[in-house]
């Protein structure tokens, strides 16, 4: 086993263990979130049969009513089922299932960045958490707080947090990144190619250099950050940097791994975390703010920080190994070098 593989193996074993734990916690969050909506007492003013109009589900500033009305529980279950479908897709593909993707990393020190959606999702989710914590720490140290808007209704807040990944990823990633990428990089005017490119840009477009795409991702990420502080119920100014960084990461994930991964990374920061927060608040009869400082929440944070640090380490090792291989290939391409390394049998 090469030194590079040994290094990957040293990081890969704890990384795989943490990813597996986070994977299990993600699965548990599905019934926990359903419990929060249908059985918890976090909100005594309304419950799951609260009526919602189309404008409540799609909060856009238009002068006409979106003509449908459902109960909150109906929309929640519909979105919840979409997440389960996407999670299943992520668990099984695109090349290997979740367990088979981790196996070479744990046994041989080999890491395929694109073999499984879910491994990539946990990796980038963990990195996003680490970066968000760093930004928050730096801003707090210079007196820039990051405070969410006041929740008028906890159940509606959880509902909004649940639906946001789908609505925002379609709006910010598909429309603002996917469409321009198709216009710039597509070499075939086909509706099928158009749909495939929106689903996974890198897999279906000829993006040979990512400079233009990266500039677009950064601009959309900044816009995503600005939307969080200039929206109808804005965060404080400290959210701008945090949300912008998150938007850039989500844009990169969308570019490299597709819409499934982008939605589920966003789902992880929203539904996955908040389902446990609201659950803890309900069963312990404490406030949401106190639930964020609960021992279980702190344990989650530690797991994600360690996973994020290991993920960054794996990315750096992979990058360095790739550069080393390119350097070797380049030297071997020299005719004299080839002659020197030619063994006569």
325, burial (CB in 10 Å: exposed 0-12, middle 13-18, buried 19+): exposed
Q: Please say whether the beta carbons of 228 and 235 come within 8 A.
A: yes
Q: Give the pLDDT confidence of 186-217 residue by residue, as tens digits.
A: 888 889 999 999 999 999 998 887 899 999 99
Q: Is residue 332 part of a domain?
A: no
In 3D space, the residue among 268, 55, 259, 272 whose CA is nearest the CA of residue 170 turns out to be: 259
Q: Is the peptide bond before 94 cis (omega within 30 degrees of 0)?
A: yes
48-50-56 Cα angle (round to 5): 110
Q: Is residue 338 part of a domain?
A: no
Q: Give the pLDDT confidence of 262-290 residue by residue, as tens digits.
A: 999 999 999 999 999 999 999 999 999 99
Q: Please say whether the beta carbons of 171 and 272 come within 8 A.
A: no
In 3D space, the residue among 88, 96, 136 whose CA is nearest the CA of residue 114 turns out to be: 96
- Stated length of the chain: 345
Q: Please say whether the beta carbons of 183 and 207 come within 8 A.
A: no
Q: Is residue 342 part of a domain?
A: no
Range of the domain at 88: 3-318
Encode the chain (345 residues) as per-residue pLDDT tens digits: 567 678 888 888 999 999 999 999 999 999 999 999 999 888 888 889 999 876 566 555 445 555 667 899 999 999 999 999 999 999 998 999 998 988 888 887 777 778 899 999 999 999 999 999 999 999 999 988 888 888 889 999 999 999 999 999 999 999 999 999 999 998 888 899 999 999 999 999 988 878 999 999 999 999 999 998 887 677 888 899 999 999 999 999 999 999 999 999 999 999 999 999 999 999 999 999 999 999 999 999 999 999 999 999 999 988 888 788 777 766 665 555 443 443 433
In 3D space, the residue among 168, 192, 197 whose CA is nearest the CA of residue 181 turns out to be: 197
Q: Is residue 323 part of a domain?
A: no
- Distance of alpha carbon 323 from alpha carbon 266, whole angstroms: 31
- Distance of alpha carbon 72 from alpha carbon 76, whole angstroms: 6
Q: Please say whether the beta carbons of 243 and 149 come within 8 A.
A: no
Q: Is residue 325 part of a domain?
A: no
What is the model's pLDDT at position 339? Answer: 37
Q: Is residue 328 part of a domain?
A: no
Q: Is residue 327 part of a domain?
A: no
Q: Is residue 334 part of a domain?
A: no
What's the predicted TM-score (pTM) here?
A: 0.90
Strands (E), the chain: 51-53, 69-71
What is the model's pLDDT at position 232? Answer: 67
Number of domains in the chain: 1
């Amino acid at each position: 086993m090469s030194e590079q593989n040994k290094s990957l193996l040293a990081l890969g074993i704890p990384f795989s263990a943490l990813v597996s734990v986070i994977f299990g916690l993600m699965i548990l969050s599905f019934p926990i979130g359903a419990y929060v909506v249908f059985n918890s007492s976090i909100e005594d003013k309304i419950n799951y049969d609260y009526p919602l109009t189309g404008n409540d589900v799609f909060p856009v500033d238009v002068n006409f009513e979106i003509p449908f009305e459902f109960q909150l529980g109906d929309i929640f279950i519909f979105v919840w089922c979409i997440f389960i479908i996407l999670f299943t897709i992520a668990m099984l593909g695109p090349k290997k299932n979740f367990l088979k993707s981790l196996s070479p990393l744990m046994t041989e020190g080999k890491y395929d960045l694109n073999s499984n959606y879910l491994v990539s999702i946990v990796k980038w989710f963990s990195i996003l958490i680490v970066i968000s914590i760093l930004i928050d720490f730096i801003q707090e140290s210079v007196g820039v707080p990051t405070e969410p808007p006041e929740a008028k209704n906890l159940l509606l807040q959880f509902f909004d947090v649940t639906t946001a990944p789908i609505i925002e990823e379609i709006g910010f990633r598909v429309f603002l990144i996917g469409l321009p990428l198709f216009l710039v990089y597509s070499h075939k005017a086909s509706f099928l190619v158009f749909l495939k490119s929106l689903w996974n840009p890198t897999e279906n477009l000829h993006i040979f250099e990512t400079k233009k795409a990266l500039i677009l991702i950064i601009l959309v990420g900044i816009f995503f950050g600005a939307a969080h502080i200039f929206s109808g119920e804005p965060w404080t100014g400290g959210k701008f940097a945090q949300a912008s960084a998150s938007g850039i990461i989500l844009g990169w994930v969308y570019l490299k791994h597709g819409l499934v991964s982008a939605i589920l990374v966003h789902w992880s920061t929203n539904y996955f975390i908040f389902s446990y927060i609201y659950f803890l608040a309900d069963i312990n009869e404490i406030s949401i703010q106190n639930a964020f400082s609960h021992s279980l929440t702190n344990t989650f944070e530690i797991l994600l920080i360690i996973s994020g640090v290991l993920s960054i380490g794996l990315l750096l090792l992979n990058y360095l190994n790739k550069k080393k291989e390119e350097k070797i290939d380049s030297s071997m391409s020299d005719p004299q070098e080839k002659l020197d390394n030619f063994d006569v049998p």
